[in-house]
């Protein structure tokens, strides 16, 4: 009995594989006898999560009872189906992350960057057969950005380099810089985007100043995704110190020194004038 069951299951798998191979070699169009139309919405998935592919059936007849006996999903540009399923025999081939959810909708578990692209979805029912194309886009949110500086101390009116970095995002995004008055400094920055082996991107932006002004602080960096939507931001806590040579105490010391020289010079000049008058008086006497 068990042997017979296994044989029937293997035969169903062989039949499904044979049918998928036929789909791969022959383009399947809508049958003239088809009494419905298959529709699928573009899918947007998050990397590492489950993506829902919403599909529906639009009936072209009064009959609203449909029985799906075969589904097949094929990536654009590929010959072999990446997933196929026969509900009655509970037989499936291809990527095990795909499954039918609320027929004819699908879902994809543990979404990856490689899943992005166009797909052709075929179903065969008791009312005929149809296929439709849909696109799948995948995204991943960047981590909260961090602002750093290689310099141990940033001096007002001196050279400064600020860095902002964020990782783990997809697709590639960008970083913008703003000062405390919300002025955009991005044109003065350079952006580097690196894609890792997992397909995710790391963004690193460097903002350089020949002469930085403490009145511009604090600076803020904002991470934007590929649709220019803000995903996160960070505000700089780096302190911009005044140049000791331009500090009030130094200026006061310089001013006091100048004042002392002026006073001493005045006394010397006054003394010379007194001595000159005395000398002239003595000469007259």
Two tokens at 245? 């040579």
The answer to whether 83 touches 94, Cβ cutoff 8 Å, is yes
* CATH class of this structure's domain 146-241: mainly beta
CB atoms within 10 A of CB 86: 20
> What does the pLDDT read at residue 61?
82
Going by the DSSP 8-state scheme, the letter that residue 157 receives in this structure is T
Kindly state the greatest CA–CA separation across the chain. Answer: 153
Band (36; pLDDT cuts 50, 70, 90)? very high
Classify residue 105 as exposed, middle or buried by CB count within 10 Å of its CB (0-12, 13-18, 19+): middle
> What does the pLDDT read at residue 281?
63
260 or 230, greater pLDDT: 230
Two tokens at 82? 């990446």
pTM above 0.75, yes or no: no
The answer to whether 45 touches 68, Cβ cutoff 8 Å, is no
Q: How far is CA 146 from CA 194, 220, 233, 235, 285, in A?
A: 16, 10, 8, 8, 89
189 or 60, greater pLDDT: 189
- Give the pLDDT confidence of 131-150 residue by residue, as tens digits: 999 999 999 999 999 999 99
Highest mean pLDDT of the ranges 10-24, 82-96, 256-270: 82-96
**Matching CATH number, 11-139, of 3.20.20.105, 3.30.450.40, 1.20.1440.230, 2.60.40.10:** 2.60.40.10
Band (62; pLDDT cuts 50, 70, 90)? confident
For the chain, the structural domain boundaries read 11-139, 146-241
Two tokens at 139? 């995204």
Beta bridge partners of 86: 91
Q: In this prediction, what percent of the chain has a pLDDT beyond 90?
A: 64
- Give the pLDDT confidence of 167-184 residue by residue, as tens digits: 999 999 999 999 999 999
> What does the pLDDT read at residue 152?
82
What rounded mean pLDDT belongs to the chain? 84
Helix (H, G, I), strand (E, B) or coil at 21: helix
Band (208; pLDDT cuts 50, 70, 90)? very high
The answer to whether 23 touches 74, Cβ cutoff 8 Å, is yes
Two tokens at 73? 């999903």
> What does the pLDDT read at residue 242?
84
Q: Do domains 11-139 and 146-241 have the same CATH topology?
A: yes
């Amino acid at each position: 009995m068990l042997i017979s069951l296994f044989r029937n299951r293997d035969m169903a798998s062989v039949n499904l594989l044979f049918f998928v191979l036929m789909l791969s070699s022959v383009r399947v169009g809508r049958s003239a006898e088809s009494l419905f139309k298959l529709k699928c919405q573009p899918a947007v998935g998050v990397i590492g999560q489950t993506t829902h592919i919403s599909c529906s059936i639009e009936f072209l007849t009064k009959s609203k009872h449909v029985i799906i006996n075969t589904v097949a999903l094929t990536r654009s540009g590929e010959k072999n189906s990446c997933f196929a399923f026969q509900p009655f025999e509970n037989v499936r081939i291809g990527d095990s992350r795909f499954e039918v959810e609320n027929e004819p909708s699908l879902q994809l578990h543990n979404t990856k960057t490689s899943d992005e692209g166009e797909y052709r979805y075929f179903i065969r029912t008791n009312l005929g057969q149809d296929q439709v194309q849909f696109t799948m886009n995948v995204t991943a949110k960047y981590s909260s950005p961090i602002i750093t500086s290689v310099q141990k101390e940033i001096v007002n009116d001196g050279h400064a380099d600020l860095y902002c970095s964020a990782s783990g995002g997809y697709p590639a995004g960008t970083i913008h810089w703003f000062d405390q008055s919300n002025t955009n400094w991005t044109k003065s920055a350079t952006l580097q985007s690196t894609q890792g082996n997992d397909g995710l991107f790391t963004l690193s932006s460097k903002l350089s100043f020949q002469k930085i002004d403490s009145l511009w602080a604090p600076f803020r960096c904002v991470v934007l995704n590929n649709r220019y939507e803000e995903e996160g931001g960070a505000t700089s806590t780096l302190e911009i110190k005044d140049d000791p040579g331009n500090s009030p105490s130094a200026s006061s010391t310089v001013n006091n020194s100048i004042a002392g020289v002026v006073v001493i010079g005045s006394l010397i000049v006054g003394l010379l004038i007194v001595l000159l008058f005395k000398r002239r008086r003595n000469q007259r006497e």
